[in-house]
Structure 1
């Protein structure tokens, strides 16, 4: 009886298996709902996304970004590792040491943010200024204008010192404004790329300490191309960007705060207006608070780390810039910053040649030479043409290419009779 029962059960199982094999695959209760959702899609995949990405080669001889060496591009394509892996901690530690060297500082609160120089700019202001506090901004180009607007948006009482693009503020003018407005923060652009100016910094940090003011300096266009000494020059907060003289792709923004800045930053009464840019979190991500709960954009940091150790120098940038300046003058062009010592080595500004349309010149150079140069920015629009040779691009042969392209454009672009 038992054997006959097992046989009947086996036959039934075999029959059931045969039936099931003829049916469609078993689906979950959610499958009909998913199928209905898929069938309700009305926007098809865009054809452009089905094509391989193609990016043309261009000579990036504008104010940034600059061309990146193949070795550094390859670093960004290395395998992804987790942001909490020991190897990533080591990379971030190396980056911190590299930034300290580039900034010439021993500040512990030194990090590389994910974002452009604008991110570091906002981070500096949001963390050290509270609503209603006085801020003094030196405006002689686009970046002072940006800082003034950012500070106004977060509720600061903003005061500006304003000069025409390329104008220089004397230490006497700065001290007078510090005494009048009693700001908690004073901002100055070291490398004003919109005008091609390298602003003197010596002595300003001393004045800020005298008036109990934090000294914030923007070096996005100048770091690696012109001398800056954060500790020696008593700069309280310094930031830059990765995409210019530092040889790295855009997307990383180094910033450093000294002890004075940290004291103001971490004893504030209100929280910073931005969670993302809150240094109480960012310092933790970088292990600056002794608690290594780190987080970062892995590929960007790998490329940036490689860029930090590439060889560029202030002397080399100055030599190539002077070579370019001589060539421009030989073409009959006038440099916008007349005083040689005030010219930014990384970004040269040319006064728009009389009778020419600067847009036509730049369009001609892009079309016939695959070369990017740009016009002015902000208050320097319609005043200058900007040529940037920095980092990997800072070579005399590139200066020759830029000069040949400008000479060709001047020959072939229409010139008005006026």
Structure 2
């Protein structure tokens, strides 16, 4: 017996419509793929699965980078890997800070010993590219410039092209967080001059959390190979990970076979739909959601012209209580939406239309529920 636990009780979570900032709902085909037999980490069938994942991730990131793989951990590990591999003590890192996860970038870089220069902007607004370029000009020794493409805390879609073009012509690595944006909108890693780009599986890819897709340019790998010190993390060392995912097949860790099956199937679903159609679906339905919410008094929070299609942030009407309303949505209607983070707690909602969740019937369900609750 285990004290306080009835071992006869089976785990049976209530199904939800996941309209928060992540995770998103998962297609039955992905669950079915996860039920297939676990095999060894060097089994030829698993290695073939990994090769297929890498190839599909290259197409999704729109890159030819040889080092494109999925780290066996959540998206936060992708962020850690993007700094721990390329930052050595004393390096200068410039970060555009306009939200919770950009702030986390600065914390991770500082833990690696970086001298962090913050280019700050109000939450809910983009960091103007000209300000970032000015900071880079004022700090010509900067090693990394980092931005969040889709800021999960605010619903902002940060423009990347100008900064990427500037970094591309210099010895500056451009690091981009695409945790929320990958799979839901255009992301052109090679064309935009991005050197390191990481994401997660549980948002735009509609796969359970547990892996962090990442792609690394040859320019960034050259920097990694020329380090003066060892990468601080053994588990997140991209040199070692590349040797496992690449042709050498050198053992590094026991890969989570079931999660790799899930990612492979999730990527297959994406490419069956087609990127252009998928991005169009997110754009059209996000506009519909914003229109419906506006009629209920929920006004957009993120800067106009730079709003994420897969995550809508709205300001709560004065007569709507944050937590009690979200609790009723969850308990009575089985709909999850996200509240604000940091100083935005209790002031905004973050409503996700990511991947599998991005369906017109889910918008209908949310709006109908809100009309009943607010009546």
Same fold, judged at TM 0.5 (above)? yes
| Corresponding position of 1:355 | 319
| Corresponding position of 2:265 | 306
Does 2:304 match 1:330? no
TM-score under structure 2 length normalisation:
0.94
Taking a change above 3 Å as real, the CA distance of residues 45 and 285 of structure 1, as seen in their structure-2 partners, is: farther
CA contact (8 A) 1:247 1:308 kept: no
Q: 1:320 aligns with which of 267, 285, 292?
A: 285
Q: How does 1:114-263 map to 2 (within 5 A)?
A: 114-181=72-139, 182-263=141-222
Q: Deviations over 1:210-231 (max 9, x none)?
A: 4421000111111111111000
Deviation at 1:186?
0.9
* Stretches of 4+ aligned residues off by more than 6 angstroms: none
Cα distance in 2, alignment partners of residues 408 and 292 from structure 1: 57
Q: Deviations over 1:41-65 (max 9, x none)?
A: xx85653444222211111110100
| Corresponding position of 1:95 | 53
TM-score under structure 1 length normalisation:
0.85
Specify the SS of the correspondent of 2:299: coil
Specify the SS of the correspondent of 1:203: helix
- Gapped regions of structure 2 (runs ≥ 5): none
- Gapped regions of structure 1 (runs ≥ 5): 1-42, 412-418
Question: How many residue pairs get matched?
Answer: 366
Cα distance in 2, alignment partners of residues 57 and 193 from structure 1: 23
Cα distance in 2, alignment partners of residues 115 and 135 from structure 1: 24
Cα distance in 1, alignment partners of residues 342 and 143 from structure 2: 26
Taking a change above 3 Å as real, the CA distance of residues 49 and 136 of structure 1, as seen in their structure-2 partners, is: farther
Query: Larger relative CO (CA 8 A, sep 6+): 1 or 2?
Result: 2
CA contact (8 A) 1:127 1:278 kept: yes
Q: Deviations over 1:163-216 (max 9, x none)?
A: 121121222111111122332111101011110111111121111234421000
| Corresponding position of 2:341 | 377
Cα distance in 2, alignment partners of residues 192 and 251 from structure 1: 20
Taking a change above 3 Å as real, the CA distance of residues 215 and 371 of structure 1, as seen in their structure-2 partners, is: same
Larger Cα-atom Rg: 1
Cα distance in 2, alignment partners of residues 222 and 383 from structure 1: 23
Q: Deviations over 1:317-364 (max 9, x none)?
A: 10111111111112222111241x311111101101113321121112
Specify the SS of the correspondent of 1:87: helix
